[in-house]
Structure 1
Amino acid sequence: MNKKWLLALPIGLVLTGMIGYRVVFTLPEQGQISSISQGNIAPSLQCYRSDSAKPVDLNGELNVLVWNIYKQNRPNWHSSLQTLVKGKQLALLQEASMTPELLHWIKDNQWFGSQVDAFKAFDTTAGVLNLSYDTPDLACAYTELEPWLGLPKSALYATYPLTNGQSLAVVNIHAVNFTYGTVEYQRQLDALVTELLNHQGPIIVAGDFNSWSDARLSVMKQALEKIGVTEVTYQVDNRTQFVTGLPLDHVFYRDLVLQKAEAPITDASDHNPIEVSFRLKNNDVERPN
């Protein structure tokens, strides 16, 4: 093989990779929210708003599922998700791929979905997904680019009315993972904390934080200290751990009463789910007209 071909070969491989990347993945200019109802997907801009949202809790009880569902790559994701959402008023999913099967499942179970369109793979959107039985007041998309992979990780900031007249702010996050240092990790968290600093009332911050190092744990805790949240403690803790022994998934809360939390084992994803039960404070306060 002559020198000309030796030079052309790596260039050709790079060009092939770039073309393949563009064929497979589509990246929006900014994170966008898709609203999912009755099997229909309505895309919007960065934020979705509703003036007719109903309280997310049920008589002062708020049961929450937090789970990275691994793009529904395991064959039993459907049956496991069906079991895990039973009795829940809110489900916060990471790595949700809006396949026809997931879309039909959302419709059949009469959920309202808010998904961040972080990117599309073969025209199928992927990103964090909130499920509730009614719309949120507000849902906004946040993305942060993975510097090594060139694909965004996503987070969703949403607010929901409560039966005690308060507003619940919820952050569902899938944190950036493959980085050298913590600059991108810090930036993603800071953007969400800045939003939460303006919120008066209960807060839940949950998801896959990719907190696999002491440096990342330190950044995460320092950022969240600013909003006065407490980390959930578990009766049963089988949260997925990195090889360092550090858990990747977390739930933090403020101005709610923690009743129970556990992380059971499943083989339906590469992450074990988290199930948390809260009770509202001052639930005897009537919701204003």
Structure 2
Amino acid sequence: MIKRLLTLLLIAVAAMASTIYWSFSVPESAALSDIHQSDSEKSIQCIEPNAYEQLDNQGKLNILVWNIYKQNKSNWQVELEKFSDDKQLVLLQEASMTDELKTWLNQSHWFGQQVDAFSALDVTAGVLNLSGSAPSIACAYVEPEPWLRLPKSGIFARYPLSSGKELAVVNIHAVNFTYGTTEYERQLGKLAEGLRQHTGPILVAGDFNSWSEKRMKALEASLKSLNVEKVSFTPDYRTEFVTGLVLDHVFYRGLTLEKAEAPQTDASDHNPMLVEFSLQ
């Protein structure tokens, strides 16, 4: 019964979304915007800033992971400032580069990279990394929704640490409107590929749209070779689908987990994930 309802829901959403597809502009290939203070520079796929400063704060690494719902709620800025206050790394999904967000970024201390997955009325949308220091490399990846054709996005990045190693990070917003898992597995595989050659610590986080058992199995299979652990949250108010499965996750390797919580907020249709690590 649930499977039938899911199928009908996907068909209905795809039919509605296809009618507005032509209102969006989609780049021919994955593109990344590098945002630092008032400067914004576009790259084909990867950027390699001159990264000299360490990401962590004396061996501590606090992160925020949050689907920010294109900043559609009026209190998004207040909540984002609160949740990101003591963080060294912020991984956002569904970030819409509006004038309001640009102003906030220009007034902040963040280094930022956003995937220009698509744009509507010249406003780009995609995953966004914010960090206290620049990455040594950041690359954009996109995977089109098979029915909607609007891409979902991901960023692969590496950040220097005080231990002398680099932290490899994947920030992902996974494809959603699919009947099977082919496109889902392909997107996960692309981002996991860069992690397989990395010998240092790893962080994989975001909105995985893991609303079915098949998707959860595909997710676990794609990460199995990386030997990552899944973060458990207390309290745990992560957003659930009608199936009871949560959509957002954080996986890690080579770090010591100190604390993890997923509090409630009405500033998005997803609740944030706040995680504290220390370096090994």
What TM-score results when the alignment is normalised by the length of structure 2?
0.92
Deviation, 1:196, is 0.5
Q: Is the 8 A contact 1:262 1:274 kept in 2?
A: yes
**What letter is aligned with 2:110?**
W
Per-residue displacement from partner, 1:10-61 (whole Å, max 9, x unpaired)? xxxxxxx87x643x21111111110001122111110000233311110000
Distance 1:119 1:87 in 2: 31
1:53–1:100 distance in 2 versus 1, CA, 3 Å = farther
1:1-289 correspondence to structure 2 within 5 Å: 21-22=21-22, 24-281=23-280
Deviation, 1:226, is 1.1
- Aligned with 2:92: secondary structure? strand
Per-residue displacement from partner, 1:239-260 (whole Å, max 9, x unpaired)? 0000000000000000000000
Distance 1:72 1:50 in 2: 28
Question: Match of 1:284?
Answer: none
Per-residue displacement from partner, 1:97-151 (whole Å, max 9, x unpaired)? 0001001111112211110111111111100000012210000000000011110
Distance 2:25 2:263 in 1: 35
Q: Is the 8 A contact 1:53 1:160 kept in 2?
A: no
- Aligned with 2:226: secondary structure? coil
Could you tell me which runs of 5 or more consecutive residues in structure 2 were left unpaired when the two chains were aligned.
1-17
- Aligned with 1:218: secondary structure? helix
- Aligned with 1:184: secondary structure? helix
Residue-pair matches, total: 264
**What letter is aligned with 1:127?**
G
Distance 1:280 1:195 in 2: 21
Distance 1:51 1:106 in 2: 20
**What letter is aligned with 1:151?**
L
Per-residue displacement from partner, 1:149-173 (whole Å, max 9, x unpaired)? 1100000000000001000000000
Distance 2:239 2:48 in 1: 34
Q: Is the 8 A contact 1:96 1:126 kept in 2?
A: yes
Deviation, 1:180, is 1.2
**What letter is aligned with 2:53?**
K
Per-residue displacement from partner, 1:156-193 (whole Å, max 9, x unpaired)? 00000000100000000000000010000000001111
**What letter is aligned with 1:92?**
L
1:202–1:110 distance in 2 versus 1, CA, 3 Å = same
Distance 1:55 1:33 in 2: 22
**What letter is aligned with 1:131?**
L
Q: Is the 8 A contact 1:193 1:226 kept in 2?
A: no
Distance 1:221 1:130 in 2: 24
Q: Is the 8 A contact 2:91 2:129 kept in 1?
A: yes
Distance 1:120 1:100 in 2: 14
Distance 2:82 2:166 in 1: 28
Distance 2:21 2:68 in 1: 23
Identity of aligned residues (%): 57
Per-residue displacement from partner, 1:184-221 (whole Å, max 9, x unpaired)? 00000011111110111000000000000000000000
Highest CA radius of gyration, 1 or 2?
A: 1
**CA RMSD, 1 decimal:** 1.3
Distance 2:103 2:236 in 1: 32
**What letter is aligned with 2:95?**
A
